[in-house]
Copies of this chain bind each other. A is one copy, B any other.
């Protein structure tokens, strides 16, 4: 079983709360197993955990993680470290190689990323070579990694589920 975690760095509690929450929710909904947050922000972790409690699954959200230690430990356990950056290699050129790995840590930064990250990562990966968003980059990376299967994922333990429909809202609560 492949394990995929996201490491969110460069988060500033005031400014990035909503964007980092979106990073975590996108990670969860698109098949990642958890998010490590390299900052002290219990609010973000709480928001993500609330979603997981209602919508199901075992997504791990943890703050106060040292990014340097997290990357070091991941590599020590034989894991692969992927840094999403618009300066990296084209995703389409390396995704097949990355898909063959058992354990993938995906680093997503905010605006500034410590220069060391480029050297510590096994892969620096660019989704478009254009500036957009760490959320859209992460979404497209996970989609290519899981080859679209993540879109059909079901959560058997969910307390709430959506019944897709043409208009309006229909949910089932357990």
* Chain A residues within CB distance 8 Å of chain B: 15-16, 18-19, 22-23, 25-26, 28-30, 51, 55, 85-93, 118-119, 121, 123-124, 126-133, 135-136, 138-140, 143, 148, 150-153, 155, 161-162, 164-171
- Contact: A136 with B87, CB < 8 Å? no
Cβ-closest chain B residue relative to A23? B133
Question: What is the CA–CA distance of A43 and B165 in the complex, to the nearest angstrom?
Answer: 36
Min distance, Cβ A96 to any Cβ of chain B, angstroms? 14
Cβ-closest chain B residue relative to A27? B132
Q: What does DSSP make chain A's interface, helix, strand, loop or mixed? A: mixed
- Contact: A87 with B151, CB < 8 Å? no
Tell me which of B19, B25, B28 contacts A22 (CB under 8 A).
B19
Known contacts A88-B166, A136-B139: A30-B151 contact under CB 8 Å: no
Tell me which of B129, B135, B162 contacts A133 (CB under 8 A).
B135
Known contacts A18-B19, A88-B166, A92-B152: A135-B139 contact under CB 8 Å: yes
- Contact: B25 with A133, CB < 8 Å? yes
Question: Would you give 10 A-B contacts (Cβ < 8 Å), ordered by A?
Answer: A51-B131, A88-B164, A88-B165, A89-B165, A90-B151, A121-B167, A123-B166, A124-B167, A132-B139, A143-B143
Residues of B within 8 A of A170 (CB): 87
Min distance, Cβ A52 to any Cβ of chain B, angstroms? 10
- Contact: A128 with B143, CB < 8 Å? no
- Contact: A89 with B22, CB < 8 Å? no
Min distance, Cβ A87 to any Cβ of chain B, angstroms? 4
Residues of B within 8 A of A148 (CB): 92
Min distance, Cβ A163 to any Cβ of chain B, angstroms? 9
